[in-house]
Amino acid sequence: MTIPPEFAYIVHDKHIYYVVQYKNKHQCSFKRCTHTKDISSEFIFALCNSGAEKALKLEVESMGLPWRFSYQKKGFVAFKADPVYGTFTYKSLNEPVAFARRLCLSLGKAASCETAEELIRNVTGQNLLIHQARYFDHKMEGLRSDPQCCAIRPENGQCIGTVVEIGQNEFFAGLHIHGPFISPDPAGDSGTLMPEKSPSRAWLKLEEAVRFFDLQLTKKDIVVEVGCAPGGVVLALLDRGVSVIGVDPAEMADIIHPNEIEDRYAVANRNRPWFYHCRKPAALAGKKDLGHGVTWFMSDMNQSPEVVIKECLRFTKMAPEIRGALMTLKLTELSQVVDKTKWFEPLTAAGFTSIRLQSLSVNHRELALLALK
């Protein structure tokens, strides 16, 4: 069985929907979707970062999807189903569109939030969890008027409504099924704020990715981060109890120094997470610098996607225990997303069975790439 680049799928049998999650290349699990019935729509909409609308449409076209562009506002793009292929269903939401922070079956347009919520309840016949979002201050943001809305992560298979405000008296209602590696937050926006102590925005990118993908990092993990200075990701990982090997000739922020060790191999008796600074360019780092036990590769380097992925593969060869990689891919143009299959191919060849490219709410001209073995 070959695992395709998506992590989970929505399938149905006799009008009952399931989330199928792949655990590894030999095992998968089924979770029955709750509060769902066989719903279809002529339209689907995507919520995205402001300025990514054109790239999202280009990505959909490059994937060969039978989606016809219908309507667009900042942070919002709607598509109409090609009648040759029928209407959209929950299965249509499986498509791994990187620039879509949220994909929803569109239930229609309303003049108020209350009317849109009522539309969701009437269509589903259920009192669902409903996320709210709006375009405000140059950003498609999730709203948290109800603190309980995001306090508990939705269950896999749970049907969730979305009401998005994109203009005065202009609201759209939609539905999606929560599953693995789908953001639990309204509009795929966690609302996480960067603390003053953080030395860089890389802290925010790491925290947003962990939340979006529900990454399970433990105290047993050791992360090698390439291009670690001044230490945003390192600080986030140390605060989570995860030890880090940082590869970068540049200096780290002072807040990192209390956890720094001078000898990579003298860590056996330490009772707190540690940081080892390999003061070398990535290309000069070797196997001895990594030691044993490295389980994750991470990078927020200001390099091309090809260079970052090449370094990931090299470090994976030096540390075969690496089971996951999280990279920020910096783009000169958002249209580079059409090259994503070329980025995936060497990772697949290196043994990564699940690959996801995703725009996060904190990303600008960049994408998060997650690869798991």
For residues 367 and 299, the answer to whether their CB atoms sit within 8 Å is no
Instruction: Tell me the pLDDT band of 266, cut-offs 50, 70 and 90.
Output: confident
pLDDT tens-digit map of 79-134: 999 999 999 999 999 999 999 999 999 999 999 999 999 999 999 998 999 999 99
For residues 31 and 157, the answer to whether their CB atoms sit within 8 Å is yes
Tell me what pLDDT residue 146 has: 66
Share of the chain above pLDDT 70, in %: 88
Asked if CATH classification 3.40.50.150 holds for the domain at 202-372, the reply, yes or no, is yes
DSSP collapsed to 3 states, the chain: CCCCCCCEEEEEECCEEEEEEECCCCCEEEEECECCCCCCECEEEEECCCCCHHHHHHHHHHCCCCEEEEEEECCEEEEEECHHHCCECHHHHHCCCCCCCEEEEEEEEECCHHHHHHHHHHHHCCCCEEEEEEEECCEEEEECCCHHHCCCCCCCCEEEEEEEEEECCEEEEEEEECCCCCCCCHHHCCCCCCCCCCCCCHHHHHHHHHHHHCCCCCCCCEEEEECCCCCHHHHHHHHCCCEEEEECCCCCCHHHHHHEECCCCCCCCCCCCCEEEECCCHHHCCHHHHCCCCCEEEECCCCCHHHHHHHHHHHHHHCCCCCEEEEEEECCCHHHHHHHHHHHHHHHHCCCCEEEEECCCCCCCEEEEEEEC
Looking at per-residue confidence, does 327 or 4 come out higher?
A: 327
Tell me what pLDDT residue 8 has: 45
pLDDT tens-digit map of 172-188: 999 999 998 899 999 99
Which pTM value belongs to this model? 0.90
175 pairs with which residues across the strands? 105, 161
Instruction: Tell me the pLDDT band of 32, cut-offs 50, 70 and 90.
Output: low
Tell me what pLDDT residue 15 has: 44
Distance between CA 127 and CA 103 in Å, rounded? 20
Share of the chain above pLDDT 90, in %: 84
Tell me what pLDDT residue 360 has: 98
| Tokens of residue 131, six digits | 């996320």
Q: Is pLDDT of 5 > 70?
A: no
Instruction: Tell me the pLDDT band of 152, cut-offs 50, 70 and 90.
Output: confident
Instruction: Tell me the pLDDT band of 11, cut-offs 50, 70 and 90.
Output: very low
Tell me what pLDDT residue 148 has: 61
Q: Which of 300, 286, 289 is nearest to 231 (CA)?
A: 300
Domain boundaries, the chain: 8-188, 202-372
* Overall average pLDDT of the 53-65 stretch: 98
Mean of per-residue pLDDT scores for the chain: 90
Tell me what pLDDT residue 150 has: 63
For residues 11 and 20, the answer to whether their CB atoms sit within 8 Å is yes
Q: Is pLDDT of 17 > 50?
A: no
Distance between CA 213 and CA 181 in Å, rounded? 4
CA 248, 220, 317, 345 torsion: positive or negative?
negative
Tell me what pLDDT residue 3 has: 36
Instruction: Tell me the pLDDT band of 12, cut-offs 50, 70 and 90.
Output: very low
The domain made up of 8-188 has a fold known as VC0802-like (3.30.2130)
pLDDT tens-digit map of 325-363: 999 999 999 999 999 999 999 999 999 999 999 999 999
Residue 145: exposed, middle, or buried by beta-carbon count in 10 A (0-12, 13-18, 19+)?
exposed
Q: Is pLDDT of 10 > 70?
A: no
Distance between CA 182 and CA 198 in Å, rounded? 26
Tell me what pLDDT residue 270 has: 72
Q: Is pLDDT of 302 > 90?
A: yes
Q: Is pLDDT of 71 > 70?
A: yes
